[in-house]
Amino acid sequence: MGTRSLNPRLAKIHRTYSVEEVSRLYGVHKNTVRAWIKAGLGVIDERRPVLVRGQALAEFLEKKRNRNKQPCGAGEIYCLRCRVPREPVGGVVGYRLITPTNGNLIGRCPVCGTGLFRRVSTARMTEVLGSLRIQETEAGEHIAKSPIPSGICDFKAGA
């Protein structure tokens, strides 16, 4: 079973929680909360019952959530199989318009060969692409018909 991201904002920052209350609040086992305490979640003191400040709980879960994030830079698309941002094969991507203001960049991972997809706004297209080139998509759609800033596509409309 995959891990899920817990919402740190569920914890009220001016409240104290027991281990049982934290486990009910987030739907995890009490032993999971005890493991969080061993991993660095601060408790009020060493007495029983073990109490955790809501502020400390929210900060701990926020750090836990952000620890594994890998934001994509310009010219990179996140590969779900490799779990790292990668530049697509040949530096070439397709673009499929989803709504009038955004669409998907489509490429292929150079390591594992799976498809890469990145949702991008047409307004941010130039900063997201970096050194990537846009070509015609597999479906035969001409990218030049979509509202992409000029100078990004490497082919002429109607070609």
pLDDT digits (tens, 9 = 90+) for 7-43: 999 999 999 999 999 999 999 999 999 999 999 999 9
Q: Is the pLDDT at 71 greater than 80, yes or no?
A: yes
Distance between CA 25 and CA 134 in Å, rounded? 46
Radius of gyration of the chain (CA): 23
Is the domain spanning 9-66 CATH 2.60.120? The answer is no
- What ranges do the domains of the chain cover? 9-66, 77-145
pTM assigned to the model: 0.58
Work out the mean pLDDT of the chain and round it to a whole number: 83
Residue with the larger pLDDT of the pair 82 and 146: 82
Please say whether the beta carbons of 87 and 76 come within 8 A: yes
pLDDT tens digits for 131-157? 888 886 555 454 434 444 444 444 333
* pLDDT at residue 97 in the model: 87
* pLDDT at residue 40 in the model: 93
> What is the total residue count of the chain?
159
Q: Is the pLDDT at 95 greater than 50, yes or no?
A: yes
